[in-house]
Structure 1
Amino acid sequence: MGSEYWEYANWITKVTLYLSVACIIGGLFCYFLFYRYLDFQKKILHYIGFSTCLGFFSSLLGLGVLIGSFADAGILGMFDTNYAKIILSTATGMVHVVRITCFALLIALMGGIFTHHKVRMYMWEKVSFFFLLIPIIYSFSQLGHSANLSIFPQILLSVHVLVMSLWMGSLYPLCMATLKISGLELQQRIHLFGRIASVMMVILLLCGLSVALLLIKHVDVLLTTAYGYGFILKLCLVAVILLLAAVNKWYLTPRLEIPTFAKKLTYAIFFEILIGLSILATTGYITTVVGIE
């Protein structure tokens, strides 16, 4: 199994991890956004529960891929105990362990919620989510090329990941909300999300561009390398999703009392989801398979 296969495997696990974190954070946000709708909150909890399992297995697989790439003995190299001991003794290995542990605890937390068949979370459960998600979010800045940055850029990257996750992970619940809720109630919830999303966009762009300027120190990197081409593609996709968000906020949302516009919003958000997945895939590709040359 060549090194390029391990790189592609790492890409897939990273994109899956991005997606799971986004769904957890965005799901929690929508859980509070739709606090009046118990039946819908229950569906969101299942969305979060599935995402925690996805995050755990993608993190576990990510560690296995890392071990396998060093062992260079095919798929069975993922279970090489000697290389596992070496990697787990490094800072990179410990980041993976912390990430896996946090996801495992999130699964246990969700298991407790589902076991008691409840929809409303206790305060300690909400706080637990907060403290368990912090190390997971921060872990993205501790791996790859961003690990060599100073603490402030790493914090900026973590905030970028947090806001991106909140926005991207909210899209599917919002899409489902357009099918479950209608009229003025839907308009009010979507309008509130739009107001919060406006702030998120500004933070997302400021943090993302700041980190990009620190990583891409020469214009030649953008114009002559695969990383640069991928980064430009990512910017184009971000521009498209921002345009869609603007259409949703300024054109569709004010007209949601009309049933046909609710259906149009469903299609628009679904398209946003597709663009969002493309952004995650592109980000994962340029940070794993390509890298900054």
Structure 2
Amino acid sequence: MISEYWMWATWLTKVILYLSVAFVVGGAFCYFLLRQYLELKESILKYITIGAGLGLISSTLGFFILIGSFANTGITGMVDPTYINILVNTPTGYIYVLRSISFALLLLLMVVKLNRNKGHFSIIESSIFCVLLLPIIFSFSQLGHVANLTLLAQILLSIHILVMSLWMGSLYPLWKTSREISGLPLKDRMHVFGRIAAFIVGILIACGASVALLLIKDFNTLINTAYGYGFMVKMFFVIGILLLAAFNKWYFTPRLQHPKFAKHLSHAILFEILLGLSILLTTGYITTVVGIE
């Protein structure tokens, strides 16, 4: 493999990592949002479990891909003991190891939860879940360009990742909800989500814009670099998903007592999922393949 292949492999693992965190955070949020619907609980728990599993795979694979890119001797370089020993004793290596351990313990927690067939999360289980999630979220600020910025910038990015994951990860459970329940119960849950989402979007935009201003220091970077072009493409998708979310909230949600509008909402959420995936793919591309110049 040449270095370009390692770069694309890193991009793929990063996108999977984004998805895994979205599954876990959004799934956990929807678990509590929809806790009265027993028919949805098990599927949401499985959704979170899949996210934890994907996170463990992407974190572990990302570590060995980084080793392979350093060794640059082909696939066998991914297990080069010399480079493993070097990387594992660096701050970057610590972050990869901590993230992998957190996902592994989170996966164990979810597997035990599913096997016990107990839908309700106890206070202890919820606390363990949150404790394991915190280092995963904060790890994003310790790798990449933001790691060289101030603590405030790192905190802003961590909050941005958290609320982004909550929103994106909620889309599949909400799509499933639109197909499993109907009428006034569906309208009520979507109305509650819409109110929370309005607050989430505000935080998302504020934190995202702040981090972007810290990274993109002048207008020339935005219009004359590959990173800037990619960032503008990402903003195009972001504006699209915001407009669609607003349309869902103000047009479909008030009419969900009628079955036909529930079906239309289901299709709209699928399109929102597609836009969300496009955002994650673009974000992974500009932070991995391109990088800020």
Q: TM-score range by the shorter chain?
A: over 0.9
Measure the CA separation in 1 of the matches of 2:250 and 2:69.
49
User: What are the residue-to-residue correspondences of 1:28-43 with 2, within 5 Å?
Assistant: 28-43=28-43
Question: 2:23·2:50 contact (CA, 8 Å) conserved in 1?
Answer: no
Q: By how many angstroms is 1:115 displaced?
A: 2.0
User: What are the residue-to-residue correspondences of 1:211-222 with 2, within 5 Å?
Assistant: 211-222=211-222
Question: 2:160·2:208 contact (CA, 8 Å) conserved in 1?
Answer: yes
Q: Does 1:98 align with 2:101?
A: no
Per-residue CA shift, 1:100-159, capped at 9, x if unaligned? 000010011012112212111111111111111110000001001111011000000000
- Range moving further from structure 2, 121-130 or 188-197: 121-130
User: What are the residue-to-residue correspondences of 1:18-97 with 2, within 5 Å?
Assistant: 18-97=18-97
Measure the CA separation in 2 of the matches of 1:178 and 1:127.
30
Q: Does 1:128 align with 2:148?
A: no
Q: Which residue does the alignment assign to 2:201?
A: 201
Percent of aligned pairs with the same amino acid: 59
Q: Which residue does the alignment assign to 1:137?
A: 137
Q: Does 1:251 align with 2:283?
A: no
Q: Which residue does the alignment assign to 1:241?
A: 241
- Range moving further from structure 2, 246-255 or 107-116: 107-116
SS in 1 for 2:121: coil
Measure the CA separation in 1 of the matches of 2:185 and 2:275.
27
Q: Which residue does the alignment assign to 1:116?
A: 116
Q: How many residues align?
A: 293
- Range moving further from structure 2, 120-129 or 95-104: 120-129
Q: By how many angstroms is 1:253 displaced?
A: 0.2
Measure the CA separation in 2 of the matches of 1:181 and 1:117.
22
SS in 2 for 1:166: helix
TM-score (norm 2): 0.99
Q: Which residue does the alignment assign to 1:292?
A: 292
Please tell me the residue identity of whatever aligns with 1:194.
G
Per-residue CA shift, 1:248-280, capped at 9, x if unaligned? 000000000010000000000000000000000
Measure the CA separation in 1 of the matches of 2:276 and 2:75.
31
Give structure 1 stretches of 5+ with no counterpart: none
Give structure 2 stretches of 5+ with no counterpart: none
Question: 2:255·2:261 contact (CA, 8 Å) conserved in 1?
Answer: yes
Q: Which runs of 4+ in 1 moved over 2 A?
A: none
Per-residue CA shift, 1:26-45, capped at 9, x if unaligned? 00000000010112111100
